[in-house]
Structures are given as C-alpha cells and as structure tokens.
Amino acid sequence: MVVLECKNIYKSYPIRKNFFGKIIEELPVLKGVSLKIEKGKSVGILGDSGSGKTTLAKILLDLERPDSGDVLYKGVSIYGMKKKEYKVYRLNVQAVFQNPYNSLNPRMKVIDIVLEGLKINFKLDKEIIREKVLESIRQCGLPDSVLDLYPHQLSGGQRQRVAIARTIVLKPEVIIADEPTSALDVSVQSQIINLFLELQEIFSISYLFISHNPAVVDALCDYVCEMDQGKLKDVLSCR
C-alpha cells in the first residue's frame, strides 16, 4: 500500500523582482517530481546540494507548497483534506532533521522535548505521557537519566536519538529524514543507521532518507533514486 505520494511536483523560487515587486526571474528547483513511499519500505534520495532534495522533503511535510502538482496521503490530496483528516496526516508523517542541536529547543529538558507532541495532540494523563516518553527513549537506546538533561549536555549521537524519540513517540507511519547522520561522527553514524533499521522492524515505519552519501542509503533503503537539477532519475532496488 502506498502511504505517501507526490505527483508531478514543480517548485520555483523568485530570484529577481522589478521596481514594482513583480517577479521577473525564477530559479526552478523541482521539475515534475513524482515519488511513491510504500508501507514499511524505505526510499532513498541521493543528490548534491542544491539539487532539490530538501525542498521535496518540505513539500511532503507540507512545510512548503508546490507551484503545481499534488501530495497524497493514502490516496487523498493533503490540499483538500478536512481538518480531522489533515491532523491524521500531520501526526503520521514526521521528520528527523540534519542537525539535532538546531532542531531541539535548548531551553527545554529532554522529557519536555519528547512529550511536547503528545501534549499538543492527545488528552492523556500525565502518568501515561511519562510512560510513553520513557518507552520511546528506551527504544532509542537512551538511559532514563537523560530526561532531566538539556540538549547541550548530550553528545551529538544522543541528541539525534532524542530527536528520533520525539518523532517515534507519536507512532508515525512515515518518517522523512533529511541528512540524519551527516552531522555525526562516522562511528556514531552506524549506530543511528542501526537504530533506524530496528525501529522500522518494530513499527513497520516507512522512511524517506535524503542524503548525499550512497553508503547511508544503501544500508537503509529498499529503493534509491538520484535527484539531479530538480529531476528524479530511475528508482533502483537495493535489497
């Protein structure tokens, strides 16, 4: 079953305007991109900086809107969803970003970072929320003691595990991971890759991995495609 899909996505950014503010020159970033992510499968996108990978991720997360094209969650366009349908989509399509230090609020303790999504989206008893948070950080290989620490008190690998715990506590169906290991030491990268694989086995999560490192996507993904100048090349099977 296809969980998340984009069809014929075009996206450009203005780079020059005239005196009256009218756009007179645009930079095309995505040129007719189509992609399917199936349940429990991993798709990798390789490409150089500026190829359009991150823009595609933002569009799939509805952080940006395309100029044309469509994004579908379980066959339904996210742009025509009712409020309840859209909430289900937002809960089930989550992100893990490149630099965990930038993506974690430095003023919040780990426990508050991980429980924030639960608190916003569900009406749960405090004890149940704490149990879910503990379960999530343990599944991500962290000790209970990190709950009372701030991001700056953690190593880079621990911070990325917290970012992943914050995501999986919501039990999403799809995780879009934009360069999730590039800010980490090589020794830590393999640990995070193994963690992603373990979580996929437990929860049947679908992944979209964005990277410039072929070794990372080869280790993680069922299918890999290359993005070049805003276009996706043929998808290749890895496993």
pLDDT digits (tens, 9 = 90+) for 171-225: 999 999 988 887 677 778 888 899 999 999 999 999 999 988 888 888 889 989 9
Q: Kind of pairing, strands 2-17 and 174-178?
A: unpaired
Q: How many domains does the chain have?
A: 1
Asked if 50 and 230 count as a contact pair (C-beta separation under 8 A), the reply is no
Write down how long the chain is.
239
More confident residue, 138 or 21: 138
| Residue 124 binned pLDDT confidence (cut-offs 50, 70, 90) | confident
Half-sphere exposure of 126 (CA within 13 A, CB side): 2
Asked if 46 and 211 count as a contact pair (C-beta separation under 8 A), the reply is yes
Which among 44, 35, 45, 30 is positioned nearest to 2, based on CA atoms?
35
CATH code: domain of residue 51: 3.40.50.300
Is the CA virtual torsion 229, 231, 235, 239 positive or negative?
positive
CA dihedral 113, 109, 105, 190 (to 10 degrees): -70
pLDDT of 20-51, one tens digit each?
A: 667 777 889 999 999 999 999 999 999 888 88
Can you give the pLDDT at residue 90?
95
Q: Determine how many CB atoms are found less than 10 A away from the CB of residue 62.
A: 16
- Between CA 61 and CA 167 the distance in angstroms is 13
Can you give the pLDDT at residue 139?
94
Can you give the pLDDT at residue 239?
54
Asked if 177 and 207 count as a contact pair (C-beta separation under 8 A), the reply is yes
The string over 144-154, giving b where at least 16 C-beta atoms fall within 10 Å of a residue's C-beta and e elsewhere, is: eebbeebbeeb
Q: Kind of pairing, strands 174-178 and 206-211?
A: parallel
User: Residue 216 sits in which domain range?
Assistant: 2-237
- Between CA 40 and CA 14 the distance in angstroms is 37
Span 57-72, average pLDDT: 96
- Between CA 186 and CA 232 the distance in angstroms is 28
